[in-house]
Chains A and B, each alone.
Chain A
């Protein structure tokens, strides 16, 4: 099978301006993957499926990944002009100071598609797509028109991560009920406070149970004071 670099080159020949990047995997398995831009996702997917050499006719699974917003603090050397008094004379002096700057790198939701070829008996080729952020720009093109097998798995990713697949034929929740509002596999999912009865709690659960008990006690006291 072609290496990721070769596949990337082939894509760029077939779909001009596809905007494919390689996401390398430093681990032993070395399964590098291709990051696909939204704009040409369908063409790239079509190429991967229909190319006679690759013939990736089987989508094995679709995975959702949630990356939180990252706060990065870095030290930057800054040159400033400082007014200093040297030998009784005021002078403008250039000075280099270390400064810590913080910037927030927006998080994103990612889907990972594992592709195999049944005809050529090779794989996996891994492609990824990322949303712009985690809050309001969570759209991503659906690959269901190319691989029909993506339909239910994309619905699951939509249900649990909240990725909105544009072009999906039937985008509804799959596992949770329709009235449900949250996306439970997201890292900032707040589970309902149902720790009212935890007879064998330990660690995190014990912590939550104690918090619940304290909140309940406070509520009761408040009620008694109000009376």
Chain B
């Protein structure tokens, strides 16, 4: 039964706190997003700065960087994903427990950035794994990473517990495996995961 928002506020004024399981669940999740402790390139330096005293990511409940994917909720792709590293990144993402989220930090992680035409740079990690928040920048400032965190928190807050719109980890039908690309003779095989990244149509 949905509680009327107006009634809730009214009750709150009288000192009665009303909530739903969904709200409580999402409130708990969004305030304890533990990132995985791994950095890929120069963006990682900004990520480290974000966790330190000056920017203090701990304010958002995300100060615990876990060195194991089993205990992490969030993967921050902080930097250039080379084609040599991409299978490892995808495998790590697979090894994380649901619910899991991905922030693609910086120009390289979202598109390959300045190295896009390089022979060893993946043109964006969203070719293999679903990305929740993209941050542009080269590298993005810590404020941008915090903004991404808040965006992710809003996203988590809006996820329903039941129904068609529920997130992947609550849906028994949704796929939980993202194939790890093989390192082939000339390129990664396959070059993208069409289930995650249908090739966008560019209109010229």
Q: Is chain B in direct contact with chain A in the complex (CB below 8 A)?
A: yes
Chain B residues contacting A88 (CB-CB under 8 Å) are: none
Interface 1/0 per residue, B185-204 and A, CB below 8 Å: 11100011000000110100
Q: How far is the CB of B86 from chain A (nearest CB, A)?
A: 10
Instruction: Please tell me if B183 contacts chain A, counting CB pairs below 8 Å.
Output: yes
Alpha-carbon gap, A179 to B182, bound state (A): 10
Asked if A181 and B185 sit within 8 Å, CB to CB, the answer is yes
- The listed residue (B84, B123, B186) touching A175 by CB distance below 8 A is B84
Looking at A19-27, A121-129, A192-200, the stretch in contact with chain B turns out to be A192-200
Asked if B123 and A194 sit within 8 Å, CB to CB, the answer is yes
Name the interface size band of chain A.
Answer: 10 to 19
Asked if A205 and B117 sit within 8 Å, CB to CB, the answer is yes
Interface 1/0 per residue, A105-148 and B, CB below 8 Å: 00000000000000000000000000000000000000000000
Chain A residues contacting B199 (CB-CB under 8 Å) are: 196-197
Chain B residues contacting A198 (CB-CB under 8 Å) are: 202
Q: How far is the CB of B122 from chain A (nearest CB, A)?
A: 10
Name the interface size band of chain B.
Answer: 10 to 19
Instruction: Please tell me if B172 contacts chain A, counting CB pairs below 8 Å.
Output: no
**Residues 168-194 of A contacting B (Cβ, < 8 Å):** 175-177, 179-182, 184, 189, 191-192, 194
Instruction: Please tell me if B184 contacts chain A, counting CB pairs below 8 Å.
Output: yes
Chain B residues contacting A176 (CB-CB under 8 Å) are: 84, 120
Instruction: Please tell me if B17 contacts chain A, counting CB pairs below 8 Å.
Output: no
Chain B residues contacting A181 (CB-CB under 8 Å) are: 185-186
Chain B residues contacting A184 (CB-CB under 8 Å) are: 119-120
Alpha-carbon gap, A197 to B183, bound state (A): 21
- The listed residue (A175, A180, A191, A194) touching B183 by CB distance below 8 A is A180
- The listed residue (B123, B186, B191, B192) touching A180 by CB distance below 8 A is B186
Asked if B184 and A179 sit within 8 Å, CB to CB, the answer is yes
Asked if B186 and A182 sit within 8 Å, CB to CB, the answer is yes
Asked if B185 and A180 sit within 8 Å, CB to CB, the answer is yes
Instruction: Please name 21 pairs of A and B residues whose Cβ atoms are closer than 8 Å in the assembled complex, sorted by A.
Output: A175-B84, A175-B120, A176-B84, A177-B83, A179-B183, A179-B184, A179-B185, A180-B183, A180-B185, A181-B186, A182-B185, A182-B186, A189-B119, A191-B117, A192-B186, A194-B123, A194-B191, A196-B192, A197-B123, A197-B199, A199-B202
Q: A179-B184, A192-B191, A196-B191 are in contact. List 7 more A-B contacts (CB 8 A).
A: A177-B84, A180-B186, A191-B119, A192-B186, A194-B191, A196-B192, A197-B200
